[in-house]
Copies of this chain bind each other. A is one copy, B any other.
Amino acid sequence: MNDLSRLCIHTATTKPWSVEMAVEEYARSGVRGITVWRDALAGRDPAAVGRRISDAGLEVVSLCRGGFFPAVGADARKRAIDDNLRAVKEAEALGAPLIVLVCGADPAQPLESSRAQIAEGITAVGKRAAEAGVKLAVEPLHPMYADTRSAVNTMQSANDMCEHLGDPNVGVAVDVYHIWWDPNAIGEIQRCGAAGRLFAFHVCDWNVPTRDFLLDRELMGEGCIDIRRFREAVDSSGFSGFIEVEIFSTQYWSTEQSLYLQKVISAYRQHV
Protein backbone atom coordinates (compact mmCIF):
# COMPACT_ATOMS: atom_id res chain seq x y z
CA MET A 1 0.00 0.00 0.00
CA ASN A 2 1.85 3.05 -1.21
CA ASP A 3 -0.72 5.35 0.34
CA LEU A 4 -0.35 5.58 4.14
CA SER A 5 -3.95 6.61 4.83
CA ARG A 6 -4.81 3.16 6.24
CA LEU A 7 -1.59 2.60 8.17
CA CYS A 8 -1.97 2.04 11.90
CA ILE A 9 0.80 1.00 14.27
CA HIS A 10 0.49 -0.70 17.63
CA THR A 11 2.29 0.90 20.55
CA ALA A 12 3.67 -2.60 21.28
CA THR A 13 5.44 -2.50 17.91
CA THR A 14 7.66 0.31 19.20
CA LYS A 15 7.56 -0.87 22.78
CA PRO A 16 10.64 1.09 23.96
CA TRP A 17 8.76 4.34 23.26
CA SER A 18 6.25 5.85 25.66
CA VAL A 19 2.80 6.37 24.16
CA GLU A 20 3.56 10.12 23.96
CA MET A 21 6.75 9.49 22.01
CA ALA A 22 4.97 6.99 19.74
CA VAL A 23 2.19 9.49 18.97
CA GLU A 24 4.71 12.20 18.09
CA GLU A 25 6.87 9.95 15.94
CA TYR A 26 4.00 8.18 14.18
CA ALA A 27 2.36 11.52 13.33
CA ARG A 28 5.62 12.99 12.05
CA SER A 29 6.07 9.98 9.74
CA GLY A 30 2.62 10.10 8.20
CA VAL A 31 1.12 7.18 10.12
CA ARG A 32 -2.62 7.81 10.51
CA GLY A 33 -3.78 5.31 13.11
CA ILE A 34 -2.62 4.03 16.48
CA THR A 35 -3.64 1.00 18.49
CA VAL A 36 -2.89 1.52 22.14
CA TRP A 37 -1.78 -1.31 24.39
CA ARG A 38 -3.04 -1.11 27.94
CA ASP A 39 0.48 -1.23 29.40
CA ALA A 40 1.20 2.00 27.50
CA LEU A 41 -1.60 3.67 29.50
CA ALA A 42 -0.14 2.78 32.90
CA GLY A 43 -0.24 5.78 35.23
CA ARG A 44 -1.98 7.97 32.64
CA ASP A 45 -5.46 9.38 32.16
CA PRO A 46 -6.81 7.54 29.08
CA ALA A 47 -8.92 10.58 28.11
CA ALA A 48 -5.83 12.81 28.12
CA VAL A 49 -3.94 10.26 25.99
CA GLY A 50 -6.92 10.18 23.63
CA ARG A 51 -6.86 14.00 23.26
CA ARG A 52 -3.12 13.96 22.61
CA ILE A 53 -3.67 11.38 19.88
CA SER A 54 -6.41 13.33 18.13
CA ASP A 55 -4.49 16.61 18.56
CA ALA A 56 -1.63 14.97 16.68
CA GLY A 57 -4.01 14.12 13.85
CA LEU A 58 -4.06 10.41 14.59
CA GLU A 59 -7.01 8.12 15.04
CA VAL A 60 -7.32 5.54 17.83
CA VAL A 61 -8.01 2.25 16.06
CA SER A 62 -8.31 -0.08 19.03
CA LEU A 63 -7.33 -0.86 22.57
CA CYS A 64 -5.23 -3.99 23.06
CA ARG A 65 -6.13 -6.13 24.79
CA GLY A 66 -9.02 -7.62 26.67
CA GLY A 67 -9.90 -11.26 27.07
CA PHE A 68 -8.18 -14.01 29.08
CA PHE A 69 -11.59 -15.15 30.30
CA PRO A 70 -11.07 -18.87 31.01
CA ALA A 71 -9.97 -20.16 34.39
CA VAL A 72 -10.77 -23.24 36.42
CA GLY A 73 -11.98 -21.15 39.36
CA ALA A 74 -15.13 -19.02 39.29
CA ASP A 75 -13.39 -16.24 41.23
CA ALA A 76 -10.67 -15.96 38.62
CA ARG A 77 -13.28 -15.83 35.86
CA LYS A 78 -15.09 -13.05 37.74
CA ARG A 79 -11.83 -11.09 38.07
CA ALA A 80 -11.25 -11.48 34.31
CA ILE A 81 -14.70 -10.10 33.55
CA ASP A 82 -14.11 -7.18 35.93
CA ASP A 83 -10.82 -6.45 34.19
CA ASN A 84 -12.55 -6.48 30.82
CA LEU A 85 -15.19 -4.05 32.14
CA ARG A 86 -12.29 -1.77 33.16
CA ALA A 87 -10.89 -2.13 29.64
CA VAL A 88 -14.25 -0.99 28.24
CA LYS A 89 -14.04 2.12 30.44
CA GLU A 90 -10.49 2.78 29.29
CA ALA A 91 -11.47 2.35 25.65
CA GLU A 92 -14.40 4.71 26.09
CA ALA A 93 -12.22 7.37 27.72
CA LEU A 94 -9.45 6.91 25.18
CA GLY A 95 -11.88 7.10 22.28
CA ALA A 96 -11.10 3.58 21.04
CA PRO A 97 -13.99 2.11 19.05
CA LEU A 98 -12.76 -1.46 19.51
CA ILE A 99 -11.14 -3.78 22.05
CA VAL A 100 -9.16 -6.71 20.69
CA LEU A 101 -9.69 -9.87 22.72
CA VAL A 102 -6.94 -12.40 23.30
CA CYS A 103 -9.51 -14.82 24.56
CA GLY A 104 -7.42 -16.95 26.93
CA ALA A 105 -7.12 -20.64 27.79
CA ASP A 106 -6.50 -22.59 30.96
CA PRO A 107 -4.36 -25.70 30.36
CA ALA A 108 -5.86 -27.31 33.46
CA GLN A 109 -9.18 -27.86 31.71
CA PRO A 110 -10.38 -29.05 28.27
CA LEU A 111 -10.30 -26.52 25.43
CA GLU A 112 -14.07 -26.93 25.11
CA SER A 113 -14.48 -25.63 28.67
CA SER A 114 -12.21 -22.69 27.92
CA ARG A 115 -14.24 -21.91 24.80
CA ALA A 116 -17.49 -22.01 26.74
CA GLN A 117 -16.01 -19.66 29.35
CA ILE A 118 -14.84 -17.29 26.60
CA ALA A 119 -18.40 -17.12 25.29
CA GLU A 120 -19.68 -16.48 28.83
CA GLY A 121 -17.07 -13.80 29.43
CA ILE A 122 -17.83 -11.95 26.21
CA THR A 123 -21.54 -12.13 26.96
CA ALA A 124 -20.94 -10.70 30.44
CA VAL A 125 -19.04 -7.73 29.00
CA GLY A 126 -21.04 -7.29 25.81
CA LYS A 127 -23.90 -5.10 27.04
CA ARG A 128 -21.64 -2.59 28.75
CA ALA A 129 -19.34 -2.48 25.71
CA ALA A 130 -22.26 -1.79 23.37
CA GLU A 131 -23.53 0.98 25.66
CA ALA A 132 -20.06 2.52 25.57
CA GLY A 133 -19.92 2.32 21.79
CA VAL A 134 -17.00 -0.06 21.98
CA LYS A 135 -16.96 -3.11 19.74
CA LEU A 136 -15.22 -6.36 20.73
CA ALA A 137 -13.05 -8.40 18.38
CA VAL A 138 -12.17 -12.05 18.94
CA GLU A 139 -8.65 -12.57 17.64
CA PRO A 140 -7.93 -16.17 16.68
CA LEU A 141 -4.42 -16.94 17.92
CA HIS A 142 -1.90 -19.32 16.37
CA PRO A 143 -2.37 -22.90 17.66
CA MET A 144 1.03 -22.67 19.37
CA TYR A 145 -0.78 -20.44 21.91
CA ALA A 146 -3.62 -22.88 22.63
CA ASP A 147 -2.20 -23.85 26.02
CA THR A 148 -2.44 -20.56 27.89
CA ARG A 149 -3.31 -17.67 25.52
CA SER A 150 -6.31 -18.62 23.45
CA ALA A 151 -8.60 -21.56 22.90
CA VAL A 152 -9.77 -19.85 19.68
CA ASN A 153 -7.12 -20.76 17.14
CA THR A 154 -8.61 -20.52 13.67
CA MET A 155 -10.78 -18.12 11.70
CA GLN A 156 -13.40 -20.87 11.58
CA SER A 157 -13.42 -21.11 15.36
CA ALA A 158 -13.68 -17.31 15.72
CA ASN A 159 -16.51 -17.15 13.19
CA ASP A 160 -18.32 -19.99 14.93
CA MET A 161 -17.89 -18.23 18.28
CA CYS A 162 -19.32 -14.96 16.90
CA GLU A 163 -22.19 -16.75 15.22
CA HIS A 164 -22.99 -18.51 18.48
CA LEU A 165 -22.92 -15.22 20.39
CA GLY A 166 -25.08 -13.45 17.79
CA ASP A 167 -24.09 -10.00 19.05
CA PRO A 168 -23.56 -7.50 16.19
CA ASN A 169 -21.11 -5.69 18.45
CA VAL A 170 -18.79 -8.73 18.54
CA GLY A 171 -16.60 -9.56 15.54
CA VAL A 172 -13.17 -10.84 14.57
CA ALA A 173 -9.65 -9.39 14.43
CA VAL A 174 -7.71 -11.05 11.60
CA ASP A 175 -3.95 -11.26 12.13
CA VAL A 176 -1.92 -12.87 9.34
CA TYR A 177 0.65 -14.11 11.86
CA HIS A 178 -1.89 -16.43 13.45
CA ILE A 179 -3.74 -17.77 10.41
CA TRP A 180 -1.35 -17.80 7.44
CA TRP A 181 -0.80 -21.58 7.57
CA ASP A 182 -4.54 -22.44 7.43
CA PRO A 183 -5.97 -23.73 4.11
CA ASN A 184 -9.42 -22.59 5.30
CA ALA A 185 -8.33 -19.04 6.20
CA ILE A 186 -9.25 -17.26 2.97
CA GLY A 187 -12.69 -18.87 2.86
CA GLU A 188 -13.31 -17.99 6.50
CA ILE A 189 -12.20 -14.39 5.88
CA GLN A 190 -14.88 -14.21 3.20
CA ARG A 191 -17.43 -15.72 5.59
CA CYS A 192 -16.41 -13.21 8.25
CA GLY A 193 -16.66 -10.21 5.93
CA ALA A 194 -19.98 -11.36 4.50
CA ALA A 195 -21.40 -11.49 8.03
CA GLY A 196 -20.20 -7.93 8.69
CA ARG A 197 -17.88 -9.17 11.42
CA LEU A 198 -14.39 -8.42 10.13
CA PHE A 199 -13.49 -5.64 12.57
CA ALA A 200 -9.68 -5.43 12.41
CA PHE A 201 -6.72 -6.51 10.32
CA HIS A 202 -3.21 -6.98 11.74
CA VAL A 203 0.00 -7.61 9.81
CA CYS A 204 3.58 -8.68 10.48
CA ASP A 205 5.59 -11.62 9.17
CA TRP A 206 6.64 -15.12 10.27
CA ASN A 207 10.39 -15.36 10.80
CA VAL A 208 12.17 -18.40 9.32
CA PRO A 209 13.35 -19.83 11.63
CA THR A 210 11.33 -18.43 14.52
CA ARG A 211 13.41 -18.58 17.69
CA ASP A 212 10.93 -17.43 20.31
CA PHE A 213 7.27 -18.28 20.79
CA LEU A 214 6.30 -14.67 21.50
CA LEU A 215 8.87 -12.07 20.61
CA ASP A 216 10.36 -13.00 17.27
CA ARG A 217 7.90 -11.56 14.77
CA GLU A 218 9.26 -10.09 11.55
CA LEU A 219 8.81 -7.03 9.40
CA MET A 220 6.42 -7.57 6.51
CA GLY A 221 8.30 -9.04 3.56
CA GLU A 222 11.10 -10.54 5.66
CA GLY A 223 9.26 -13.76 6.46
CA CYS A 224 7.21 -16.35 4.61
CA ILE A 225 3.65 -14.96 4.80
CA ASP A 226 1.99 -13.83 1.57
CA ILE A 227 0.65 -10.71 3.27
CA ARG A 228 -0.63 -9.01 0.16
CA ARG A 229 -2.82 -11.97 -0.64
CA PHE A 230 -4.43 -11.77 2.79
CA ARG A 231 -4.81 -7.97 2.52
CA GLU A 232 -6.58 -8.37 -0.80
CA ALA A 233 -8.81 -11.11 0.62
CA VAL A 234 -9.69 -8.95 3.61
CA ASP A 235 -10.39 -5.95 1.40
CA SER A 236 -12.49 -7.92 -1.05
CA SER A 237 -14.54 -9.26 1.86
CA GLY A 238 -15.66 -5.65 2.37
CA PHE A 239 -13.13 -4.38 4.90
CA SER A 240 -11.87 -0.83 4.41
CA GLY A 241 -10.50 -0.02 7.85
CA PHE A 242 -6.98 0.47 9.13
CA ILE A 243 -4.22 -2.01 8.49
CA GLU A 244 -2.40 -2.45 11.81
CA VAL A 245 1.26 -3.30 12.11
CA GLU A 246 1.78 -5.40 15.25
CA ILE A 247 5.34 -6.67 15.62
CA PHE A 248 6.72 -8.06 18.89
CA SER A 249 10.46 -8.42 18.49
CA THR A 250 13.18 -8.22 21.07
CA GLN A 251 15.54 -7.86 18.12
CA TYR A 252 13.86 -4.79 16.61
CA TRP A 253 13.15 -3.31 20.07
CA SER A 254 16.89 -3.32 20.67
CA THR A 255 17.51 -1.09 17.62
CA GLU A 256 17.04 2.66 17.18
CA GLN A 257 13.24 3.04 17.08
CA SER A 258 13.05 5.94 14.60
CA LEU A 259 14.99 3.98 12.00
CA TYR A 260 12.89 0.92 12.77
CA LEU A 261 9.71 2.99 12.27
CA GLN A 262 10.95 3.95 8.81
CA LYS A 263 11.56 0.24 8.08
CA VAL A 264 8.00 -0.53 9.18
CA ILE A 265 6.63 2.13 6.83
CA SER A 266 8.79 0.99 3.94
CA ALA A 267 7.77 -2.65 4.51
CA TYR A 268 4.12 -1.55 4.58
CA ARG A 269 4.52 0.25 1.26
CA GLN A 270 6.23 -2.70 -0.39
CA HIS A 271 4.56 -5.77 1.04
CA VAL A 272 1.05 -4.91 2.27
Contacts and interface: CB of A to CB of B under 8 A. Distances in A.
Interface of A: 107-108, 110-111, 115, 142-144, 146-148, 153-154, 156-157, 160, 180-184, 206, 208-210, 213, 223-224, 226
Contacts of A153: 181-182
Nearest to A112: B183
Contacts of A115: 183
A208 B213 CA distance: 12
A157 B183 CA distance: 8
A223 B226 CA distance: 33
A184 B107 CA distance: 19
A223 B146 CA distance: 12
Nearest to A152: B183
B226 A110 contact: yes
A160 B160 CA distance: 22
Contact of A181 (B143, B183, B184, B209): B143
Contacts of A182: 143, 153-154
Contact of A107 (B108, B148, B208): B208
A147 B107 contact: no
A216 to B, nearest CB: 10
A160 B108 CA distance: 32
A105 to B, nearest CB: 9
A110 to B, nearest CB: 6
Nearest to A115: B183
A-B complex: 5 closest residue pairs judged by Cβ atoms? A107-B224, A146-B181, A143-B181, A144-B144, A107-B208
Contacts of A154: 182-183
Given A153-B181, A153-B182, A147 B208 contact: yes
A183 B223 CA distance: 28
A108 B181 CA distance: 14
B209 A148 contact: yes
Given A111-B183, A182-B153, A226-B110, A208 B148 contact: yes
Nearest to A178: B143
A102 to B, nearest CB: 15
A111 B181 contact: yes
